Amino acid sequence: MEKADYQQLNGIALAYLGDAVYEVFIRQHLLALGMSKPNRLQHQATHYVSAKAQAALIDLMKADELLTEDEWSYFKRGRNANSYTHAKHTSVLTYRMSTGFEALFGYLQLSGQFERINELAQWCIKQVETGRTKHEN
């Protein structure tokens, strides 16, 4: 696969990829738990991948000082990007935080930081499952 120049991509493009990268981890996790019914899988996934859940996870990453300076920079690129879509069931601020969260994962994927993606995704799963994210759907 040809490597995209992630340094030149805007935050929305990074978020486009990051959304898929993070969602694969969540889907694999839910299947590993033994879930197999599509409705249940979709319902459970929203606890991890909704805009509200992702915004809460970013808040926890900040509180736990989990991200590097570069990672925060790419989060901010996504958060501050002009999006032509709008938040459907959440505030604009929450939607933008979620876009930043996804941009972070897109950056990590394109820069080849696969171990870091795994580390952050597993950390996110743990936060949701231990109830640290109060704002999920």
Average pLDDT per block of 10 residues along the chain, 137 residues long:
69 95 97 93 93 96 97 96 79 94 97 97 96 67
Catalytic residue among 5, 19, 59, 64: 19
The CB-side HSE value for 68 (13 A sphere, CA atoms) comes to 9
CATH class of the domain defined by 11-129? mainly alpha
Distances (CA, A) of 33 to 36, 54, 76, 111, 136: 9, 21, 33, 30, 19
pLDDT of residue 2: 53
Tokens describing residue 76: 């901010």
Spell out the domain ranges in the chain: 11-129
pLDDT of residue 9: 85
CB 79 within 8 A of CB 11: yes
pLDDT of residue 4: 61
pLDDT of residue 134: 73
pLDDT of residue 8: 77
Please say if 59 is a catalytic residue: no
